[in-house]
Amino acid sequence: IYVTVNATAASAENYTTWPNMKTLTFTGSDAGITATVNQFPFLVRLTAADSAIFSGAGANGANIRFSRTDAIKLKYSIDHWDAANRSAAIWVLMDQVVTGANTLRIHWGNGTATSLSSPSAVFSRGNGFVTVHHLGNPTGDAQTSARPNSVQPGVNDAAPVNLPTGYAVTQGVIGRADTLGGGTGGTSPTGHHFHFGTLGLGTFTTGGAATISMWVRPTSLATGFVQFFTIGNTAGGNNS
């Protein structure tokens, strides 16, 4: 779900007027946090135990909001929202997470509020992200269309390549997911994969360094070199 945030409207909102509020507490060390981390996208999951939120948060979680316990508002991005099956995954940008107890609040039930979900506010260039892709397009989107880049939708979206006829996304650990067979063949792999377009060397660091991470659940392991995504650096004609 991608929307343009109206910063003026967000800052003017008074969450004390939201009729419902729930406090969430988590331990940073349980999330693998070994030292204080700033600007941390924290995953909030909603399940059948949160039926009241699904019933009152509006279509696609339109009026859901997050804040610190001192009322400071927190930016968020709805990755997945399925009210019928009581399942949602929401990334909330915590300004600081410690190894011990961390607390935030979730607000819902204001029927006049519209969605402020913003992937680019949570996964921003200023926070060190270049591209972030939540695979598996939302229900209703073309299953073979590009997966948007949360940092800047429309730029370096993940374009699926060689997906089979009738391809359909599946349910992942966080929201929806894609199943890829990978491909071989150098710059023209033949298997299922995603192409992220081109990113010049200077996009990352002066020397072109970057960290790339993927969450993968393998069902089998290939014995040779397999490509699951391609990306060009525009150097020496290397554009794919």
Per-residue pLDDT tens digits for 58-92: 999 999 999 999 999 999 999 989 999 999 999 99
Q: What's the pLDDT tens digit per position in 112-148?
A: 999 999 999 999 988 888 889 888 876 667 788 888 8
Contacts of 44 (CB under 8 A, 6+ apart): 24, 66, 89, 90, 91, 92, 106
Please state the pTM of the whole predicted model: 0.85
Written as one string, the DSSP assignment of 86-138 is TEEEEEEEEEEE-SSEEEEEEEE--TT------HHHHS-GGGT-S-----SPP
Higher pLDDT pick, 221 / 50: 50
Taking 60 as the threshold, does the pLDDT of residue 237 lie above it? no
pLDDT of 162 > 90? The answer is: no
Give the span between the Cα atoms of 32 and 215, in whole angstroms.
15
